[in-house]
Amino acid sequence: MGIEIQPNNAKKGPLSPEDLRAVQLIQVEMLAEVDRICRLHHINYAMIGGTMLGAIRHKGYIPWDDDADIGLLREEYEKFRKVCETDLDHERFYFQDMRATPGYRWGYGKIRRKNTYFLREGQAHLPYDSGIFIDIFPFDSVPDGKLAEKMHNLHCTIIRKILWSEVGKKTDKNPMLRYVFSLLSLIPLGMVSNHLQHFAGKSNRKKYQRVRVLTFPARDNVSEGRREWYEKTVDYKFEDLDLLGAESADAYLKHKFGAYLTTPPESERKSHPVSYYKLLD
């Protein structure tokens, strides 16, 4: 895909309630496509984060949620990204990650809907198409031992900050941090991508029982999870779909959210900031 010019008929964010629901339904198309491909090729995946929470608490989307998250162990992620080259419905969707999309700066993948636009704040200058999306997260091993874990998490943080630097140099409120991010953004992206692949490979030489998304900005105590949650999956209802999630849903959701069945107060029901968006015609 080439650089996408902001559509003339793009709407300025935030999303209206009606448009939020329209975005969710477009994402349901992509969730169905991920499920189709994975079942066809015997690839195990799991709903994660707010998507898994929505499946259990709402039987679908959390009403104010504007994204969807799928997680796969690294070996399953590699199978998935490969079969997307041939089996993804390219009439409707496209796949992005650092190896597939020049200028892409996230350490995980996205499936996006063609003929849509969904621009997160501070990302207008990034040189790739920005359709409505769902996130596809690879999970990599976390080593045992407190010191090894701390060093591993620090390594993850450094890579994440380098990747974020292209956005942070324009959006961070602290002038000193904007300067630091400006320096970090000079590191060639290809070098960072190669290092991330090497780091992921090294992390997975042993199948430790804890895993995490290497470059996702979650607190260390909730960024890690049990490998078995992504190995042992069962069907759950999500909107009008049957999607896979951790068989141990209660253990996963308590780890991630604590008292997950309690609906948060209205002041805490937040969507991601979106600058401009365009729905399907």
Give the domain range for residue 235: 11-278
Quick check: is 117 in a domain? Answer: yes
Q: Is residue 158 part of a domain?
A: yes
Residue 2 forms part of a structural domain: no
Please give the average per-residue pLDDT across 188-213, as a whole number.
95
What total of structural domains would you count in the chain? Answer: 1
Q: What percent of the chain has pLDDT over 70?
A: 98
What pLDDT, on the 0 to 100 scale, is given for residue 60? 97
Query: How confident is the model at residue 8, as a pLDDT?
Result: 73
Amino acid present at 145: G
**Whole-number pLDDT of residue 279:** 95
Contact criterion met (CB below 8 Å) for 52 and 117: no
Q: Other CB atoms closer than 10 Å to residue 198's CB: what's the count?
A: 10
pLDDT tens per residue, range 4-33: 567 778 899 899 999 999 999 999 999 999
In a domain, 21, yes or no: yes
Could you write out the DSSP letters of every residue in 62-127? Answer: -TT----EEEEEHHHHHHHHHHHHHHS-TTTEEEE-TTTSTT---SSEEEEETT-EEEETT-TTSS
Q: Is residue 272 part of a domain?
A: yes
**Mean pLDDT, rounded, of the chain:** 94
Instruction: Say yes or no to pLDDT of 194 above 70.
Output: yes
Query: Can you give the pLDDT at residue 121?
Result: 81
Flag whether 227 is in a domain: yes
Is residue 162 very low, low, confident or very high in pLDDT (cuts 50, 70, 90)?
very high
Average pLDDT over residues 65-88: 97
Q: Is the pLDDT of residue 220 over 80?
A: no
What pLDDT score does 5 carry?
Answer: 61
Is 3 a member of any domain?
no
